[in-house]
Amino acid sequence: MSANEQALSLLGQLAFSFDGAVLGVALAYVAVRSVLKYTSTSSALRKLRKAPSVSVSDLRTVLNAPETSNESQSSDGKLLIVRGTVEAKSAIELNWKCLKPNVLVSQESGDRAVLIERTQTCIYNEWKGFLGFTSDLRALLAKSRRRREATSLRTVPFILVEGGQWPHNDALVVNLDGSQHPLPLITVYHRLQPVNASPYTFLQALFGHEYPVGLLDEEKILPLGKDITAVGVCRFKDGLPEIKSCDDLPYFLIDMTKDQMVQGLSFNCKFLLIGGFILGSLSLGILGYAAVRNWNRWKEWKRQRQARQQESSAASNDTSEIHTEEETADVPDGELCVICLMRRRRSAFVPCGHRVCCQFCAISIVREGSPRCPVCRQEIHEDWFFVL
pLDDT in tens, 84-99: 999 988 877 654 445 5
* Residue 33 vs residue 66, higher pLDDT: 33
Note whether 69 and 84 are same-domain residues: yes
* DSSP-derived 3-state class of residue 259: helix
Residue type, 81: I
Q: Is there a domain that residue 186 lies in?
A: yes
Tell me what pLDDT residue 47 has. Answer: 92
Residues 231-288: tens digit of each pLDDT = 999 998 888 899 999 888 999 999 999 999 999 999 999 999 999 999 999 999 888 8
Q: Are residues 113 and 208 in the same domain?
A: yes
Mean pLDDT of the region 152-168: 81
pLDDT reported for residue 263: 94
Instruction: Decide if 6 is inside a domain.
Output: no
Query: What is the per-residue pLDDT for 292?
Result: 87
Interval 288-324: pLDDT, tens: 888 888 888 889 889 888 888 887 776 666 555 555 5
Give pLDDT, residue 205. 63
- Residue numbers of the domain that contains 377: 333-387
Are residue 135 and residue 237 in the same domain, yes or no?
A: yes
pTM greater than the 0.85 cutoff: no
pLDDT for residue 325 is more than 60: no
The answer to the question of residue 10 being in a domain is: no
Are residue 46 and residue 62 in the same domain, yes or no?
no
Q: Smallest Cα–Cα separation from 58: which of 159, 166, 172?
A: 172
Judge whether 9 lies within some domain: no
- Name which of 160-164, 177-181, 326-330, 348-352 the model is least confident about: 326-330
Around Cβ 325, how many Cβ atoms within 10 Å? 12
Angle between helices 3-15 and 21-50 (to 10 degrees): 100
Domain final residue pick, 279, 305, 328: 328
Residue 353 CA to residue 244 CA, distance in Å, equals: 98
Q: In what order do the strands lie in the sheet with 347-349?
A: 355-357, 347-349, 385-387
* Per-residue confidence (pLDDT) for residue 186, from 0 to 100: 93
User: How far is 129 from 349, CA to CA, in rounded Å?
Assistant: 60
Residues above pLDDT 90, as percent of the chain: 29
Query: In terms of domains, do 314 and 350 share one?
Result: no
Of 214, 238, 255, at which residue does a domain stop? 255
* 7 in a structural domain: no
Q: Number of folded domains in the chain? A: 3
| Structural domain contains residue 352 | yes
- Which pLDDT belongs to residue 145? 46
One domain for residues 306 and 348: no
What phi, psi does 112 have (nearest 5°)?
A: -85, 140
143: pLDDT confidence band, cut at 50, 70 and 90?
A: very low
pLDDT surpasses 60 at 175: yes
Same domain, 315 and 345: no
Q: By mean pLDDT, which of 2-11, 47-56, 82-91, 148-157 is the weakest?
A: 2-11
Q: What confidence tens digit (pLDDT) does each residue in 89-127 have?
A: 887 765 444 555 688 998 888 899 999 999 988 887 755
Q: Give the CATH number of the domain where residue 363 resides.
A: 3.30.40.10
Q: Is residue 30 part of a domain?
A: yes
Give residue 71's pLDDT band: very low, low, confident or very high (50, 70, 90).
very low
Among 233, 255, 277, give the residue marking a domain's end. Answer: 255
Same domain, 129 and 244: yes
What does pLDDT average to over the chain?
79
Confidence of residue 222 (pLDDT cuts 50, 70, 90): very high
Model confidence at 21: pLDDT above 60: yes
Are both 233 and 265 inside the same structural domain?
A: no
Return the higher-pLDDT residue of 207 and 299.
299
Q: Could you tell me if residue 1 is inside a domain? A: no
Q: How confident is the model at residue 347 (pLDDT cuts 50, 70, 90)?
A: confident
Does 206 share its domain with 355?
no
Q: What is the DSSP letter of 69?
A: S
Q: Indicate if 208 and 63 belong to the same structural domain.
A: yes
Q: Averaged over 137-165, what is the pLDDT?
A: 69
Say if residue 167 is in the same domain as residue 32.
Answer: no
